Amino acid sequence: MRGLTVFHLLLSSFLLCCFVQLQQPAYAVRKSHVVYLGSHSHGPKPSSADMDSATSSHYDLLASVLGSHERAKEAIYYSYNRHINGFAALLDEDEAAQIRKNPKVVSVFLGQSHKLHTTRSWGFLGQERDGRVRADSAWVKGRFGQNVIIGSLDTGVWPESKSFRDDGYGPVPRKWRGGSKCELYSLSGPRNTTLCNRKLIGAKTFHSAYEIKHGRLTSGISARDEQGHGTHTLSTAGGNFVRNVSVQNNGNGTAKGGSPRARLAVYKVCWGRHSSGDCTDEDLLSAFDQAIDDGVDVLSVSLGRSAVPNVNDMLTNGISIGSFHAISRGIIVVASAGNDGPEPETVTNVAPWIFTIASGSIDREFSNNITLGNGQIIKGTSLAINSVSQRLIPVVLAGNVRLPNATFQDAQLCRPGTLDPRKARGRILLCQRGRSLRPVDKGAEAKRVGALKMILQNDKQLNTRTADAQVLDSSNIPLDGGSHEGETGQYTYFGKKKPLAAMNNAKTFIPIRPAPRVSAFSSRGPNVILPSILKPDVTAPGQDIIAAYSPAASPTNLDSDDRHFNFNALSGTSMACPHAAGIVGLLKTRHPNWSPAMIKSAIMTTASILDNTNRLIEDEQDGRVATPFHYGTGYVKPNIAIDPGLVYDLKTSDYLNLLCFSAYEDRIIEAINYNRPYKCPRSYRLEDFNYPSITLPFLGVKPVNVTRIVTNVGAPGTYTVNVKPPRGFKVVVVPTTLTFQRTNQKKSYMVILQATRLAQTSKPSFGELTWTDGKHRVRSPIVIPQHAKMAV
């Protein structure tokens, strides 16, 4: 293996722009106001005479305040004269106050600017308000991730996307050691014309193992993205601001990444034109090695093994191994937790040196209505655009229109080739979601058999709602209409004779409450490899995320789909991972000398477990309160993470000691320590591994002591601890206060836990401890997966 050069990241200081407070003029200022008068009385189809009369009444009303019709006509620039009754006019404060007193007036209010919202997740994470960047945001404090280098191991990139233009960028940072190699070639110009720039500073391919296993790549070797996944994740992490973006007329607004001024490096490790592309350990390790050598600051890895994690995965997994080497060189690796939820013990990428990200929703929803023949309306998640007509159409259950050689179960799931076109053509097809197929595969089967539309009904296997760019209009409805287990079903109408339904086009709704929720598909803990390390670490937006996409791929990655999008809405922990990577980029820019563990700690200890109704975050699967096995320490809050107060730090030696505890031989430890001699400690307590969360599996009846060390990264001050013990446990923290005289000072504390007679052996128990100085809240979950029975 080629030797890796140690480097120290040095970033220049940049002056923040000053905002000049403009002085108000002495004279009255007219501003745009809406004068709302309710509804018109001229019927559902107003004539031109009706509209003229309404406008005239508006002039009359305003003239009574302004003194003349001429002045009223000058002031009014919109007359709402069809169905909404009211007008928009330029008024000063006194004029608005005067007209507000009129008994005909419902309300008068300043017209606010409603900005269009896409990658709404960054607004939900507090970086924007009403479409404007917040002055107190992590974006501003982290200088939009300026000059941080984010590397992506994925399917490549579509370099022509506006998300990767380099307008306004200076020279490539000197810390970039990747040279000028760029395996991105012009589609129309000479083969030797490459498409990297000052934003997209490198693009390299790793394909040898793939070709060995699958044969030579016939389409040419290029880092160009043919699947869309890599373009989507890269732009989510560090894409530019791109205006006027939407997906099938939904989510209109501005797309942007978490570190929009970052420099980006692409490492293409996944091959194949469709979502089943292969990313081999061998190619991954080569890419990790190259990325470390190139000098990236952050690596975003939205990949993971699909099988249940193996106890040997820490050192038999390309991502785990590559990540260890990256972190030992000061590079933080962010990886997705997996999409095998809601089953427990499915979380992947669980090595303690990896930052593992679960998926949650945001406060935006794309949805439509399904109107049934009995008048009932069901709300579904959708991107439908061709459902203008509200004509009722017969609904057929997929299991009832199967081919003779197909099983009911396969047909119910709309597996390819199981349905009879003679029975489904011209109808709305109702498919069960299950876990065996992607929703877009079911949509393809529905279109193949001539269905006009599809209803995708969730079931107990997976109750998640995603807006997919289906090949025909569809709507994804929740399990039993969203009711909780045990309640009466709401879909009994579908079982009646000759059910009918109509579907309308999708619309965008903001804000949705409650939000966030943990995505039902997001893989969950406990961590089966290292039960003492809580995984996932945190949760980030991963549901219906709009970002750049490759027009070489169809939005569904189906051969039968000939559509091409520049932006697409995707869901998965693959989308959550680059959100966290973008936030890491902001912290790396703000705090260039922080270790990967410090950055990870800052994000973990400031994450929230409350939704936007100030209640505990719920699990999308069943609506019940989620736990740290679902969301880790909580949902990311970048504006707080940028100034966490205290952090938990870890060095490479801490990870080596953990491997010693995991029974790896000294020779193995020395080998991964770059063949430097390393002596495993004679005594080591995994409980004292300085992780930002505290997890104690198989806790017995005797008290257990846990030690943690915190580093002050803020001003001098005193922190006081507050403890919420896990149910059935007594928790004591010593000392209860920590006083810091300087920045970077370290202090240790001990947590003593003991089970009481109220402890339940069969259920996990959760608590938390929080250090606060009045400004900062440094929170760590306490997790007891299971424990021994109390002696009676």
d(CA 442, CA 546): 22
How large is the average pLDDT for residues 753-780? 90
- What's the confidence (pLDDT) of residue 443? 96
d(CA 620, CA 653): 39
423's enclosing H/E stretch is helix 421-424
- What's the confidence (pLDDT) of residue 190? 67
The answer to which of 105-114, 388-397, 430-439, 646-655 has the lowest mean pLDDT is 105-114
What rounded mean pLDDT belongs to the chain?
88
pLDDT at 370 over 70: yes
Decide which of 90 and 777 is more confident. 777
Instruction: Return the closest-CA partner of residue 478 out of 520, 524, 523, 539.
Output: 520
d(CA 441, CA 340): 18
d(CA 655, CA 652): 5
Helix (H, G, I), strand (E, B) or coil at 691: coil
Helix (H, G, I), strand (E, B) or coil at 686: helix
Helix (H, G, I), strand (E, B) or coil at 65: helix
475's enclosing H/E stretch is strand 474-477
Alpha-carbon distance values, 622 to 486, 520, 521 (Å)? 11, 8, 12
pLDDT digits (tens, 9 = 90+) for 543-554: 999 999 999 999
pTM: 0.83
Instruction: Return the closest-CA partner of residue 389 out of 371, 374, 377.
Output: 371
Other beta carbons within 10 angstroms of residue 771's beta carbon come to 24
Other beta carbons within 10 angstroms of residue 666's beta carbon come to 12
Instruction: Return the closest-CA partner of residue 295 out of 259, 335, 326.
Output: 326
Query: What does DSSP assign to residue 655?
Result: H
pLDDT digits (tens, 9 = 90+) for 147-180: 999 999 999 999 999 999 999 999 999 999 999 9
Give the tokens for residue 777: 């809240």
Among left, alpha and beta (phi > 0; psi -120 to 50; other), residue 697 is beta
Helix (H, G, I), strand (E, B) or coil at 431: strand
Long-range contact set of residues 72-81: C-beta below 8 Å, sequence gap at least 24: 75/30, 79/54, 79/55, 81/40, 81/46, 81/50, 81/51, 81/52, 81/54, 81/55
Give the tokens for residue 256: 């942007």
Contact 606, 633 (CB under 8 A): no
Query: What does DSSP assign to residue 241?
Result: P
For residue 51, name the pLDDT band (cuts at 50, 70, 90): confident
- What's the confidence (pLDDT) of residue 193? 72
How large is the average pLDDT for residues 207-214? 82
d(CA 721, CA 716): 16
**Computed over its alpha carbons, how large is the radius of gyration of the chain?**
29
d(CA 627, CA 539): 12
Decide which of 187 and 374 is more confident. 374
pLDDT at 115 over 50: no
pLDDT at 4 over 60: no
For residue 128, name the pLDDT band (cuts at 50, 70, 90): confident
- What's the confidence (pLDDT) of residue 34? 67
Catalytically active residues are: 154, 229, 574
Give the tokens for residue 50: 């009706």
d(CA 419, CA 410): 9
Decide which of 438 and 10 is more confident. 438
Beta-bridge partners for 335? 301, 356
pLDDT at 325 over 80: yes
- What's the confidence (pLDDT) of residue 761? 67
pLDDT at 134 over 50: yes
pLDDT at 192 over 90: no
End-to-end CA distance of the chain: 58
How large is the average pLDDT for residues 369-392? 92
Decide which of 15 and 226 is more confident. 226
Instruction: Return the closest-CA partner of residue 408 out of 443, 440, 434, 441.
Output: 434
Residue 721 is which amino acid?
A: V
For residue 33, name the pLDDT band (cuts at 50, 70, 90): confident
Other beta carbons within 10 angstroms of residue 590's beta carbon come to 20
Contact 649, 745 (CB under 8 A): no
pLDDT at 195 over 50: yes
Up-side HSE of residue 293: CA atoms within 13 Å toward CB? 14
pLDDT at 16 over 80: no
How large is the average pLDDT for residues 415-444? 93
For residue 609, name the pLDDT band (cuts at 50, 70, 90): very high
Beta strands at 250-255 and 298-301: parallel, antiparallel or unpaired: unpaired
d(CA 271, CA 266): 14
For residue 186, name the pLDDT band (cuts at 50, 70, 90): confident
- What's the confidence (pLDDT) of residue 22? 30
How large is the average pLDDT for residues 42-63? 84
For residue 347, name the pLDDT band (cuts at 50, 70, 90): very high
Residues in the chain: 792
Residue 714 CB burial class (10 angstroms; 0-12, 13-18, ≥19): middle
- What's the confidence (pLDDT) of residue 489? 56
- What's the confidence (pLDDT) of residue 771? 98
The answer to which of 223-227, 321-325, 349-353, 537-541 has the lowest mean pLDDT is 321-325
- What's the confidence (pLDDT) of residue 44? 60
Alpha-carbon distance values, 96 to 24, 93, 591 (Å)? 19, 5, 49
- What's the confidence (pLDDT) of residue 699? 78
d(CA 544, CA 572): 8
Contact 390, 504 (CB under 8 A): yes
